[in-house]
């Protein structure tokens, strides 16, 4: 079964969003139809792709500006939670009248933007919509920093459990004109207190909301199970983006352990901003130095010469140390996990051409993941 979904995770500040965009670009340049979806509130993806503000609708990235011929294409979009919620209502909400009843409810408006877990759930819904559409060979999901990513990845399972709980069944029981009939029959005192606190009209609106949503629970459960199955299938791979920095490596390893515990398919590490070993041209000997200009004091010249002569050695020490750190990272991940180093670039990635340079470094990652 071929790779269809690539989930990019990583701690803050490691270049995860840029790496996601570069992986997506490289896949598109190899001839695939690719979409990259960001749910990172930092909104940096549009900057990396050199396009305008992203929305919930796929926006085509102008790869032709690179002067590279490809049969593939790249679309980018950013999660709009409210728009995705509305789409789910229109799919599972029954008749047009029933859908409008939900969409017009004041508490639906609150639930679709503020309900705990709904952001995570809608992100997974949007991912699954892209997958189910059949419009793309590969979909990349750019997640928030790893401390919050697991909340996104576990959202389908948590929502599925919530729909099974008795509270949801209880809230969707038949209601009276005054609100929740089951609650009122159980305790008139409780209802009386609630109505004094939030008002009888509010109780009726809440009851109306849950009554309107009752017919959607089955569709929610079905969809949650489908997303959960996709994230655990052979069509999905998780890639951890990190840097050689100890804190970033530690967080990446902890997340790799979580992936193993939850039996998620792990594709490998992308290690960003790696110091490369010095080239032969970078190794300078004293014979390569020019004569000291008369305008430069002797002590200043000697200090500058020592710095220049030792630069390659210092770079080699840094490179060797990072290589050892990356080897330890692989070993802790049971040694068989691929690791793709990306050298530290001379300039920041800010447009399509600089992103294409980064994408070229990630070509081995795309080829390996396509074969996984």
As averages over each run of 10 residues, the pLDDT of the chain (372 residues) reads 88 88 96 90 71 87 90 92 84 82 78 66 86 96 73 63 50 47 46 43 62 69 83 93 90 87 90 85 78 87 81 84 86 79 84 91 94 77
List 274's β-bridge partners, or say none.
343
Query: 256 in the Ramachandran plot: left (φ > 0), alpha (ψ -120 to 50) or beta?
Result: alpha
Enumerate the CATH 3.40.50.300 domain ranges in the chain, comma separated.
Answer: 5-278+321-371
Residues whose CB falls within 8 Å of the CB of residue 213, separated by 6 or more in sequence, listed in order? 102, 108, 172
CA dihedral 304, 309, 312, 317 (to 10 degrees): -90
Q: What does 102-149 look like in DSSP terms, one character per residue?
A: HHT-HHHHHHHHHSTTHHHHHHHHHHHHHHHH---SEEEEEEEEHHHH
Crossing angle, helix 81-92 and helix 96-103, to 10 degrees? 150
Output the pTM of the full model.
0.80
φ/ψ of residue 339, rounded to 5: -140, 125
Structure-token match 């590490």, residue found: 269
Relative to beta strand 175-176, strand 179-180 is: antiparallel
Structure-token match 């005054």, residue found: 178
In CATH, what number does 5-278+321-371 get?
A: 3.40.50.300
Pick the closest to residue 240 from 122, 337, 130 (CA basis).
Answer: 337
For 171-301, strand residue ranges (E) read: 175-176, 179-180, 236-242, 266-274
What whole-number distance in Å separates Cα of residue 322 and Cα of residue 73?
A: 35
Q: How far is CA 10 from CA 128, 239, 255, 337, 343, in A?
A: 21, 8, 8, 16, 17
Cβ contact 276:288 at 8 Å = no
pLDDT at 182: 44
What whole-number distance in Å separates Cα of residue 205 and Cα of residue 218?
A: 22
φ/ψ of residue 141, rounded to 5: -110, 120
Structure-token match 């802790």, residue found: 332
For 146-290, strand residue ranges (E) read: 175-176, 179-180, 236-242, 266-274
Residues whose CB falls within 8 Å of the CB of residue 327, separated by 6 or more in sequence, listed in order? none
pLDDT at 237: 95
Pick the closest to residue 22 from 103, 101, 76 (CA basis).
Answer: 76
- Both structure tokens of 135: 């419009």
What whole-number distance in Å separates Cα of residue 361 and Cα of residue 343?
A: 8
Query: 15 in the Ramachandran plot: left (φ > 0), alpha (ψ -120 to 50) or beta?
Result: left
Q: Report residue 18 CA to chain centroid gap.
A: 11
Query: 355 in the Ramachandran plot: left (φ > 0), alpha (ψ -120 to 50) or beta?
Result: alpha
What whole-number distance in Å separates Cα of residue 372 and Cα of residue 365?
A: 10
Cβ contact 62:75 at 8 Å = no
What whole-number distance in Å separates Cα of residue 196 and Cα of residue 218?
A: 34
What whole-number distance in Å separates Cα of residue 205 and Cα of residue 101?
A: 12
Pick the closest to residue 143 from 245, 224, 259 (CA basis).
Answer: 259
Q: Report residue 8 CA to chain centroid gap.
A: 5
């Amino acid at each position: 079964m071929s790779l269809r979904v690539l989930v990019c995770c990583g701690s803050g500040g490691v270049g995860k969003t840029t790496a996601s965009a570069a992986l997506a670009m490289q896949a598109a340049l190899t001839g695939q139809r690719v979409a990259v979806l960001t749910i990172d509130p930092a909104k940096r993806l549009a900057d990396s792709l050199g396009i305008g503000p992203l929305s919930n609708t796929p926006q085509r990235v102008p790869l032709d500006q690179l002067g590279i011929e490809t049969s593939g294409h790249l679309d980018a979009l950013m999660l709009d939670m409210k728009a995705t919620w509305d789409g789910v209502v229109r799919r599972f909400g029954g008749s047009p009248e029933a859908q409008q009843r939900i969409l017009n409810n004041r508490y639906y408006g609150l639930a679709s933007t503020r309900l705990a877990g709904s952001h995570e759930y809608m992100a997974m819904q949007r991912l699954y919509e892209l997958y189910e559409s059949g419009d793309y060979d590969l979909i990349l999901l750019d997640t928030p920093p790893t401390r919050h990513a697991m909340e996104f990845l576990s959202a389908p399972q948590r929502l599925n459990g919530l729909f099974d709980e008795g509270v949801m069944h209880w809230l969707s029981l038949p209601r009276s004109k005054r609100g929740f009939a089951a609650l009122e029959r159980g305790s008139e005192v409780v209802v009386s207190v609630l109505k004094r606190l939030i008002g009888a009209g509010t109780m009726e609106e809440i009851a109306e909301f849950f009554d309107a949503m009752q017919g959607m629970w089955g569709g929610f459960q079905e969809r949650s199970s489908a997303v959960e199955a996709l994230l655990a299938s052979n069509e999905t791979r998780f890639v951890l983006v990190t840097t050689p920095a100890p804190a970033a490596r530690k967080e990446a390893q902890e997340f790799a352990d979580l992936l193993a515990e939850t039996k998620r398919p792990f594709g490998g590490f992308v290690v960003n901003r790696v110091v490369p070993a010095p080239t032969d041209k970078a190794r300078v000997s004293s014979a390569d130095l020019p004569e000291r200009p008369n305008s430069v004091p002797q002590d200043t010249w000697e200090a500058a010469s020592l710095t220049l002569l030792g630069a390659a050695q210092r770079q080699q020490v840094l490179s060797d140390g990072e290589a050892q750190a990356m080897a330890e990272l692989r070993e802790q991940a049971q040694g068989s996990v691929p690791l793709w180093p990306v050298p530290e670039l001379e300039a920041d990635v800010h447009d399509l051409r600089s992103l294409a340079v980064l994408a070229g470094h990630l070509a081995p990652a795309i080829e390996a993941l396509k074969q996984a």
